[in-house]
Amino acid sequence: MNQNYTKAIKAIINFKKDFDKIDPKTPKKLVGEIGEFYTLRELERLGLEPEHKGGQGGYDIFLKKLNKKIEVRTSLWKNEGVYPDKTIRFWGWRVENQNQKRSEKFDYLVGVGLDDNFSKPKFYIFTHKEAFRVGDTMIGRFKNIKKKIHLFENKKVYSKALKLKPKLVTSFERRINKFPSLFLDKWNKIK
């Protein structure tokens, strides 16, 4: 196994600890990078020989053995003013932008959920078809986002979000939130 991914993960976590003392607002680039490294490490552990592409060509990881492309989206718990109740937190992963030229950029979407310490990643695996089943949405201040996945912190928070903004949670997102185990650590979807 490539120990470089583990070293990179540790380096980012240590940098974050130091950076938090200066400015607790974590740079988005760090969040994305560590999510990709966690995913690369996991794919390598599974023997899938991942190649890190870093977003070149619309995807982050290429699996040469399988000729498959993986897009990694990483999120910390957030609200971002999307829901008026600040206790509503979710992991949010963009699937598609409004003016995106093509939707066939990846074969799989891996949604990585992190805690505030960047540790204990949770991996949610979506086939291309599943990712695009979420339906279109309009989020007031995020007009560029056409399709997204919000996975809420727990069932209680999910219920609150549905009561406050039912139109914001698409029917397939409801399925994801009701049955997260259908996606959590489902690496066997990648074939």
- pLDDT per residue over 92-116, tens digit each? 999 987 776 666 789 999 999 999 8
Tens of pLDDT, residues 32-47 = 999 999 999 999 999 9
Q: Please report the sign of the dihedral spanned by the C-alpha atoms of residue 40, residue 59, residue 112, residue 185.
A: negative
Could you tell me the pTM of the whole model? Answer: 0.91
Domain spans, the chain: 52-189
User: d(Cα 163, Cα 158) in Å, to the nearest integer?
Assistant: 9
